[in-house]
Amino acid sequence: MANRPLSPHLGIYKWGPHMATSILHRASGDGMAFVGLAVLLWWLGALAGGPGSYETFLEHASAWYGQVVLIGLTWAFFNHASSGIRHFVLDMGAGYELNTNRTFSVVSMMMGVVLTAAFWAFIYLR
């Protein structure tokens, strides 16, 4: 048998915020693709279906479970955008220092939550 080095495995890596940011980036992108597309198509169908269809859509979107879905989609958007900006900076070759990468990862996750809270506070409080 050849004496080759083994590939790194999850047990070797230390968990860090950059790993959580990467996982959340992928999850939020998938959430927007699947859930966001379903909500968008339902909304467009309700618009095309007339006033009765749109009222049904608004009833569900205004209910607590509809608000949870819409807030979740908003978080997914802002989290994905914040993480995308982080990836853009990394693609330019900056931010690879360990402390900088860790800080930028935490900031990008926090920005998703802060921007979502600010967006929905603006909607609810106006």
- Residue stretches of the annotated binding site: 80
Q: 26-35, 56-65, 88-97, 113-122: which range is least confident on average?
A: 88-97
In a domain, 10, yes or no: no
Q: With a cut of 60, say whether residue 1 has pLDDT above it.
A: no
Binding residues for heme: 80
**Residues of the domain holding 52:** 17-125
Judge whether 3 lies within some domain. Answer: no
> What's the sign of the alpha-carbon dihedral 31, 36, 42, 46?
positive
Cβ neighbours for 16, distance < 8 A, ≥ 6 positions apart: 102, 105
Within-domain flag for 35? yes
Flag whether pLDDT at 121 surpasses 70.
yes
Closest CA to 53 of 41, 70, 64: 41
DSSP secondary structure code for residue 12 in this structure: T
% of the chain beyond a pLDDT of 90: 83
Is residue 74 scored above 90 in pLDDT?
yes
Please report, for the domain that includes residue 67, its CATH number: 1.20.1300.10
pLDDT beyond 80 at 66: yes
- Could you give the number of structural domains in the chain? 1
Q: Which pLDDT tens digit goes with each residue over 97-114?
A: 999 999 999 999 999 999
What is the pTM (predicted TM-score) of this model?
Answer: 0.87
Residue type, 20: A
